[in-house]
Amino acid sequence: MLSEDTKTVLYNMLSKLATLPAEAIRPEMKLFGRDLALDSLSGVELVTWLEQQFGITLEDLDVDLSALDSVGSLLRFINGQISERWTGQLEKVAAAARLKEGRFGVEQVLLHIREHPGATSRELAAWCSLPTPTIAALRKELHQAGLVGKEGKGAFLSPKGEALLETFYPSWAGVSASAPEPYGRARQSPLFAELTERCRALLRHRPPADTQLDQAKCLPETAAARALLALENGLLAGRRLAFLGDDDFTSVAVAVLGDMLAEHQAAGPAAITVLDIDERIVNTLTELAEQHSWPLLAYGHDLRRPLPADLLHRHDGFFTDPPYTVTGARLFVSRGVEMCRPEGFTAFLSFAPKGPDEMLAVQADMARMGLYLREIKPGFNRYEGGSLWGNQSHMLVYSSTTKARPLLTTNYEGQLYTAEFRQPTLRQR
Amino acid sequence: MLSEDTKTVLYNMLSKLATLPAEAIRPEMKLFGRDLALDSLSGVELVTWLEQQFGITLEDLDVDLSALDSVGSLLRFINGQISERWTGQLEKVAAAARLKEGRFGVEQVLLHIREHPGATSRELAAWCSLPTPTIAALRKELHQAGLVGKEGKGAFLSPKGEALLETFYPSWAGVSASAPEPYGRARQSPLFAELTERCRALLRHRPPADTQLDQAKCLPETAAARALLALENGLLAGRRLAFLGDDDFTSVAVAVLGDMLAEHQAAGPAAITVLDIDERIVNTLTELAEQHSWPLLAYGHDLRRPLPADLLHRHDGFFTDPPYTVTGARLFVSRGVEMCRPEGFTAFLSFAPKGPDEMLAVQADMARMGLYLREIKPGFNRYEGGSLWGNQSHMLVYSSTTKARPLLTTNYEGQLYTAEFRQPTLRQR
């Protein structure tokens, strides 16, 4: 079964159970009670079918009680399950081949095979900057997993490998394995223009910037580019993304990109978690999420306080555009690291340093947190209005290592926002 | 006086003193004794002229006894003096405007003014990612230094500013202020093709790779791209560059680029210092330098030993492509940091990590040495032959901060080369 058909397959099944044309089914429709109004017999049939079709058991469903709430939540749940199995499978492959880059490394190899069908181990080694023996070991594991076949010396994706890779790195959306570009391939995506326009409309709902909280809203095209950056890093389909502070509404861009992917029968994000100190932002995001049936949950939270336990260790990556102080980066990234799966994640840090020494201090902190810098995109982020800082910042893409750990886990009582550094007595008053 | 005319002006003066047509003068010609064979009266006239024309005093000449050796050495000496004054002037401007980025930061602002004559402080702030008040302070200092004028709100380079900037960042060579690209603008330079061809011929002299020393020779186009990378970072004209290990002969590419710049009446490097453990490399480089009258000195030196005192603190940047071990990077970069001027320098580190944890360890070491990562160019370096490592490596561009210091300064007795890690008993035998 091709995973991009999940939606079609599910809608067909629901249409049969509810005796309703598949075209009439909408994501916001409830499965039980009203809308599709399935009876208990249909419910049993649905659960049995889920197990046969996707290997999803009743125990799986028990973990997420909202899975059977609406059509959209069920589709997201299925995509999340497929994604988790894919992740687990690739992590096993990486471990068996002793690939230190983990799942992301395996995905890079698969992307190169997709772009160059018939590639030899030697060629793959060159393109992926990996030793040839590691590639050979990987190919063996991927072959056993049924994801990659061979013909002579050349490697080919199996239909299953092709379908799964397409779910996470949709080629029609311009996601490829070619070398990263400074402003990001993101902006070259065929989805960029439409996503920017859709963001432009929605980002009008952002509350006015509160400069005491170092808020400065990014341009709609920046929010769109960030969402596409997550996509090209394989962090959209069936993944869980966290946003540590989001006055930019980047989470909205990710949710909208998820909708656009769904319109192409591809999987969007499994969960979007936003933490922000500003209740205006939390309320607006919550309203938008309800209106659009997004898998987005926004929490009012002061990141100086420890995180709620149920948000820890469950995300595949996070975005943060913290106060541009060394402390701001250290604190927000610490919280982000805690929210992510220790098995591997990606951190997207927007930052504009005040000189080399501050950049050094931030980079030293990131290294202490076991994150290594994989890409620097100067001027990737552009902001509205007349800030002193030239209205742009770097996008720094960090990868986790086995040494990933937060520097701060308890309450933080020191200075954080720029205004506090400028007025050292503020917190004493 | 336009500084790119230095060569013309000097050759005209020497032609007058030696009663020889200017076209007949060659860099390798001796000033005294033979060739131009100036007498003592002409010598006095030359020294007086140097002071009037360039402000170079007898005391300046005393510091470098080889300055008056040949036509080429005198030209290099003059360019070096111009470069040192420019550096000193820009460092003063940076200090007065409290620009933490130092000279390199001022040069970035000047480059943007060159590209956008009439730019406002606000525009410059956006392009350079600096606060508007800092730009305003800088413009005031640059105005006082006679480098930048204004018209309304717009900034313009003065003829002097234009000429000096052209010396260090020649626009005809494709050097610009636009955002860096992953493979480097280097390869888009109009000089790239010719430089690569000239390198291809000269790099044939490289001795066969000694894999016990982790040697793997880069392609001629990589050597050329590295030299152009130094140029676009303002590290060619009148600068001193160090090479910590150079089986690649990148120093040759830099020397050849210097020749090409000289053919365009522009200044090449003041000094190229190469340290290598391999006497074959030292001897070949020394022979080539003599043949071509390059300002290149190669020393046989095991970098596990401390550096000779007279090489310390005098370079503006260094290249190293160390053994791809954490220790290799730490040791070679430590030595490089010691060779550079503490006021500010650039480090070009070629490296291919064996997985995220190793990349993290290297990045953590660099941060401990007070260097911050400014650019990551994946796959910038390509190598000959069939190494296991896919024949390519990253180019990492680091900038120094006020915290720059070497991690290792004494003898290093541990393992260094990959072969030693693979055969842990090697050093005991």
DSSP H stretches of helix in B159-219? 159-168, 192-202
Is the pLDDT higher at B378 or at A36? A36
As a whole number, mean pLDDT of residues B214-238 equals: 88
How does residue B407 score in pLDDT terms, banded at 50, 70 and 90?
Answer: very high
- What is the pLDDT averaged over residues B283-312? 94
In a domain, B174, yes or no: no
User: Does the pLDDT value for residue A389 go beyond 60?
Assistant: no
Q: Can you tell me the mean pLDDT for B9-28?
A: 91
Tell if the CB–CB gap between A356 and B392 is shorter than 8 Å.
no
Is B176 a domain residue? no
Domain harbouring B202, CATH code: 3.40.50.150
Q: Encode pLDDT of B383-397 as tens digits.
A: 887 554 567 888 999
Q: Do B363 and A372 touch (CB under 8 A)?
A: yes
Pair A272, A206 in one domain: yes
Chain pair A-B, CB pairs under 8 angstroms: 137
Rounded to whole angstroms, the Cα distance separating B281 from B304 reads 17
pLDDT value, residue A424 = 44
Interface test with B, best of A104, A129, A324 (most B CBs within 10 A): A129
d(Cα A379, Cα A363) in Å, to the nearest integer? 18
Mark whether A224 and A102 lie in a shared domain.
Answer: no
Contacts of B392 in chain A (CB under 8 A): 126, 129
Alpha-carbon gap: B124 to the closest alpha carbon of chain A (Å): 8
Tell me what pLDDT residue B148 has.
95
pLDDT, greater one: A232 or B282 = B282
Of all residues in chain B, the percent with pLDDT exceeding 70 is: 93
With CB atoms and an 8 Å threshold, state whether A131 touches B389.
yes
For the stretch B335-351, pLDDT in tens is 999 999 988 899 999 99
Q: What is the pLDDT of residue B180?
A: 46
Which residue has better confidence, B419 or A34? A34
CB contact under 8 A, A376 and B379: no
Instruction: Say if B205 falls within a structural domain.
Output: yes
Q: Does any domain span residue A92?
A: no
Listed residues B84, B116, B135: the one ending a domain? B84
Supply the range of the domain harboring residue A53.
Answer: 3-84
Going from the C-alpha of A24 to that of each of A29, A50, A58, A267, the distances in angstroms are: 10, 21, 27, 20
Q: Domain with B69 in it: what CATH number?
A: 1.10.1200.10
Residue B428: pLDDT above 70? Answer: no
pLDDT given for residue A406 in this prediction: 96
Chain B CB contacts of A346 below 8 Å:
none
A75 and A114 share one domain? no
Same domain for B227 and B130: no
* Contact residues on chain A for B133, CB-CB shorter than 8 A: 388
- Which residues of B fall within a CB distance of 8 Å from A356? 100-102, 372, 399-402
Query: A178 lies in a domain?
Result: no
Which residue of B138, B181, B372 is the best one to mutate when testing the A interface, meaning the one whose CB has the most A CBs within 10 A? B372
- Residues of B with CB below 8 A from A179's CB? 182-183, 378-379
pLDDT value of position A54: 86
Are A287 and A392 in the same domain?
yes
Question: What integer is the mean pLDDT of A381-406?
Answer: 82
Report the 10 Å Cβ neighbour count for A150. 15
Residues B181, A180: C-beta atoms closer than 8 Å: no
Q: Which residue of A has its CA nearest to B179?
A: A378
The confidence score (pLDDT) of residue B177 equals 62
Cβ–Cβ of B372/A388 closer than 8 Å? no
- A contacts of B329 (beta carbons < 8 Å): none
Q: What percent of chain A has pLDDT over 90?
A: 47
Residues A364 and A239 in one domain: yes
Q: Does residue B279 share a domain with residue B203?
A: yes
Tell me which chain A residue has its CA closest to the CA of residue B371. Answer: A360
Residue B391 has its nearest CB partner, among A126, A389, A399, at A126
Q: In this structure, are A402 and A258 located in the same domain?
A: yes
* Predicted local confidence at residue A163, as pLDDT: 82
Q: Identify which of B101, B127, B379 has the shortest CB distance to residue A356.
A: B101
Select from A53, A84, A115 the last residue of a domain. Answer: A84
Q: Which residues of A touch B403 (CB under 8 A)?
A: 357, 360
Residue B274 β-bridge partners: B243, B298
User: In angstroms, what separates the C-alpha of A322 from chain B's closest C-alpha?
Assistant: 17
Residue B320 has pLDDT above 90, yes or no: yes
Among chain A residues, the shortest Cα distance to B344 is held by: A356
Tens digits of residue pLDDT in B44-101: 999 999 998 888 888 888 777 778 888 988 988 888 888 888 888 888 999 999 887 7
Residue B178 belongs to some domain of the structure:
no
| CATH number of the domain within which B161 lies | 1.10.10.10
Residues B148 and B288 in one domain: no
pLDDT band for A2, please (50, 70, 90 cuts).
very low
- Minimum distance, in Å, between the CA of residue A81 and any CA atom of chain B: 27
What is d(CA B119, CA B41) in angstroms, rounded to the nearest whole number? 51
Which residues have a Cβ under 8 Å from the Cβ of A29 and sit 6 or more positions away? A35, A36, A70, A71
Task: Identify whether A164 is part of a domain.
Answer: yes
Q: Please judge whether A356 and B400 are an interchain contact, meaning their C-beta atoms are less than 8 angstroms apart.
A: yes
Region B186-206 average pLDDT: 90
- Kindly tell me if the per-residue pLDDT of B6 is higher than 70: yes
Place of tokens 């089914």: A25
Average pLDDT, rounded, for chain B: 86
- Condensed to tens digits (0 to 9), the pLDDT of residues A236-251 reads 878 899 999 999 999 9
pLDDT at A162 > cutoff 70: yes
Statement: residue A176 has pLDDT above 70: no
Task: Give the range among A292-306, B77-91, B242-256, B272-286 with minimum mean pLDDT.
Answer: B77-91
In a shared domain, residues B309 and B372: yes
Judge: B372–A356 Cβ closer than 8 Å, yes or no: yes
Among A55, A84, A113, the domain boundary falls at: A84
- The number of distinct structural domains making up chain A is 3
Quick: pLDDT tens for B103-123. 888 988 999 899 889 999 988
Judge if A204 and A276 occupy the same domain.
yes
**pLDDT the model gives residue B178:** 54
Q: Is A157 inside any structural domain?
A: yes
- Same structural domain for residues A264 and A398? yes
